[in-house]
Amino acid sequence: MSGRRLEGRVALVTGAASGIGAACARRFAEEGARVAGIDLAPAPGDGDWAAAVKAAPDSLFEQADVCDEAAVNRIADATRDALGSIDVLVNAAGVPGGGAAHQIALEDWDRTIAVNLRGTLLPSRAVLPGMLEQRSGSIIHIASVEGIEGFEGGSAYNASKGAVVLLTRNMAIDYGRRGIRVNAICPGFIDTPMLRGLFGMEGLSDVAERIREAHQLGRFGRAEEIANAALFLASDESSFVTGVALPVDGGYTAGHRFGVASMMGLD
């Protein structure tokens, strides 16, 4: 198949076993990329990662912790050795974490910051030397709407994703003149295993419904919708886009509804 947007490129995706990471791997493979995946969980036998492997049979998967610098560096080196380069990085690995600042256990705070922030930095550090040498590359961090506005009880998660947004902007400044673009996607609430696990906790069903209604499209997002945005940022179609924190959130950050639209017959 010709004319695919990532034909001949190599993408490294963290958090690739499920959710947004797996959807990105599958979408990139459909568009011609060879894909390497990292996840603390094993690669599933079905679902989006399996679809990515079917679309790109020479794809790789390594089970590793994105907080482990040696493991991340080893996987980046192995990807370059096997596939020739790394042209695109998607940092999709992440964990939830919250609680009021005076209540959250420090070990929970540290783990959330480590996975969501250190786990974004380490893969970036691992791929940047190669991208600097080839003077090209696209790095895509998966941040969150909670990285650009507050959310009650979201102390650690919000802090980690807000840091990812500013890291994105700094990296765009530092590496832009060397042909490397760095952008963040800020998803709204996406129907993934992580979200379903969170909303499955006792007492959160009503909260989940209110959060769903806070999206102006009236629904949660789908992982493939984030993958489509990542595809745009990975491809030459976004060649003049860098340093952006792009909300893909069904209108969650657009503003608020108070019933006026209903009075105008717009529901």
**For residue range 197-220, what is the model confidence (pLDDT) as tens digits?**
877 777 777 888 899 999 999 999
Q: Which of 37, 82, 91, 89 is nearest to 64 (CA)?
A: 37
**189 confidence band (pLDDT: 50, 70, 90):** very high
User: What is the tally of structural domains in the chain?
Assistant: 1
- Contact of 68 with 85, CB cutoff 8 Å: no
Decide if 18 is inside a domain.
Answer: yes
Unique residue bearing structure tokens 């969501």: 116
Print the domain residue range for 216: 10-263
Residue 28: its pLDDT value, please? 97
Give the β-pairing of 137-142 and 60-63. Answer: unpaired
| Nearest-angstrom CA–CA distance, 94 and 55 | 25
In eight-state DSSP terms, residue 42 is P
Least confident of 118-122, 191-195, 228-232, 251-255: 191-195
- Could you tell me which residues are beta bridge partners of residue 190? 221
CATH number at residue 135: 3.40.50.720
Q: Which of 180, 234, 239 is nearest to 34 (CA)?
A: 234
Decide if 65 is inside a domain.
Answer: yes
Residue 197: its pLDDT value, please? 80
Catalytic residue among 28, 61, 157, 220: 157
Decide if 194 is inside a domain.
Answer: yes
Region 176-204 average pLDDT: 89
| Nearest-angstrom CA–CA distance, 257 and 235 | 35
Residue 206: its pLDDT value, please? 84
- Per residue in 3-23, pLDDT (tens digit) is 799 999 999 999 999 999 999
Q: Is 157 known to be catalytic? A: yes
Residue 1: its pLDDT value, please? 43
What predicted TM-score, i.e. pTM, was given to this entire model?
Answer: 0.94
Residue 127: its pLDDT value, please? 98
Residue 20: its pLDDT value, please? 96
Decide if 50 is inside a domain.
Answer: yes
Decide if 131 is inside a domain.
Answer: yes
Question: How does the average pLDDT of the chain come out, rounded?
Answer: 94
Residue 266: its pLDDT value, please? 84
205 vs 41, residue with greater confidence: 41
Unique residue bearing structure tokens 């709204």: 188
228 vs 201, residue with greater confidence: 228
Decide if 3 is inside a domain.
Answer: no
How many CB atoms lie under 10 A from the CB of residue 129? 12
> In the structure encoding, which two tokens stand for residue 15, read together?
């958090």
- Per residue in 104-157, pLDDT (tens digit) is 999 999 999 999 999 999 999 999 999 999 999 999 999 999 999 999 889 999
**2 confidence band (pLDDT: 50, 70, 90):** low
**174 confidence band (pLDDT: 50, 70, 90):** very high
**88 confidence band (pLDDT: 50, 70, 90):** very high
- Per residue in 43-72, pLDDT (tens digit) is 888 888 888 888 888 899 999 999 999 999
AA identity, residue 79: T
Decide if 2 is inside a domain.
Answer: no
Percent of the chain with pLDDT over 70: 99
Residue 53: its pLDDT value, please? 86
Decide if 174 is inside a domain.
Answer: yes
- Contact of 59 with 52, CB cutoff 8 Å: yes
- Could you tell me which residues are beta bridge partners of residue 247? 186
SS3 261: helix
In eight-state DSSP terms, residue 146 is G
The upper half-sphere exposure of residue 154, i.e. CA atoms within 13 Å in the direction of its Cβ, equals 18
- Contact of 6 with 30, CB cutoff 8 Å: no
